[in-house]
Amino acid sequence: MAFTYGAYTACLQDRTLEEALEVLAGVGLRGAEVNTGGFIPSPHAPVDLLLASERARREYRAVFAAADMQLTGLTVSGNPLSPLPTEGIGHAEDLRRTIELAGALEVPEVVAMSGTPGTDPGAGYPAWIVNPWNGIDLEILEYQWSVAVPFWKRMDALARERDVKIAFELHPRNLVFSPPTFEQFLERVEPTNIGVNLDPSHLFWQQMEPLECIERLAEHILHVHAKDTAVLPGAGTRGVLDTAFDPVPEDPAERTPTGIGHWCSSWPADPAWRFVALGEGHDVDYWTRFLGALAAVDPDLTINIEHEDAAFDRIEGIERGARTLLEAAARSGA
């Protein structure tokens, strides 16, 4: 057994699937993870057609075979628990359809987010409760769990029926965003087919140590995103929970999309942290230890680069990430 090294193709959505796979193969990668809904479009997976037609599914799998690439995951990053009418219901449906499609395509893993409900039944927006030392915040969390538990029990049952595993990205602004909150999820939901997508960038951001998280999460790690974060000097006075951002730029040309109809706020001049290309925040030695820690847990994981560093264009970012990842792989023997 050995790791499969690939990339998430969302950053190449301006290219056809065939062109995206050619880019990944050209930098030495052998796996591809494609988006199927949620916050991000699905240009590399015609979900309706693939669900409706076995012939379309055969032809789709043939595209990967012709490129000597593996389809290693479907991603549906969204907020299926959101009270917003533009998010919750649609994202939940995207998740259901993605689980169905993963089963039909025999793709083992669906990468998703746990979601964030509102504060109460009448809430209009999702609310992320970060540090509930204030007692009323615990009451909000209990309400949010009361929304999440039955939903994820249903999704777990569907995944079990389709022989698919759901891998939660431990992303801030979600109910499940850390090892302890995932352990709460395990206790409350008792899932059979839900685990973790280990994305170290979100752990670095929160000042966690991914190597310790790997040891704690262990057999619950089902999938991995190779993505880096740099914690910057601004953290000294801003902290990593900084809220001092400016509005989305008025000029559409200056906006950074975060999903369909969503854009990133304007970053401060001296931010506390930034997502960076793999290797720009932590060196090859770190990623060598990272892969070694994962191999001790499961030597047969998929490791996919996720490029979100605006300092590099899409191709350069993937190239840099692949060089770092594959050098670490060679050193670690994983």
Compute the distance between CA of residue 196 and CA of residue 113 in angstroms, rounded to an integer. Answer: 10
In order along its 334 residues, the chain shows pLDDT tens digits of: 589 999 999 999 889 999 999 999 999 999 999 999 999 889 999 999 999 999 999 999 999 999 999 999 999 999 999 999 999 999 999 999 999 999 999 999 999 999 999 999 999 999 999 888 888 999 999 999 999 999 999 999 999 999 999 999 999 999 999 999 999 999 999 999 999 999 999 999 999 999 999 999 999 999 999 999 999 999 999 998 888 888 888 888 777 766 666 678 888 889 999 999 999 999 999 999 999 999 999 999 999 999 988 888 889 999 999 999 999 999 999 8
**CB atoms near residue 26 (< 10 Å):** 12
Q: Give CA angle at 268 (262, 273), nearest 5°.
A: 85
Domains (range + CATH), the chain:
4-332 (3.20.20.150)
| pLDDT for res 242 | 85
Compute the distance between CA of residue 13 and CA of residue 17 in angstroms, rounded to an integer. Answer: 8
Compute the distance between CA of residue 334 and CA of residue 186 in angstroms, rounded to an integer. Answer: 29
Q: Give CA angle at 75 (228, 66), nearest 5°.
A: 95
Provide the terminal-to-terminal Cα distance of the chain, rounded to the nearest Å: 9
| pLDDT for res 19 | 97
- Tell me whether residue 23 is exposed, middle or buried, using C-beta atoms within 10 angstroms of its C-beta: 0 to 12, 13 to 18, 19 or more: buried
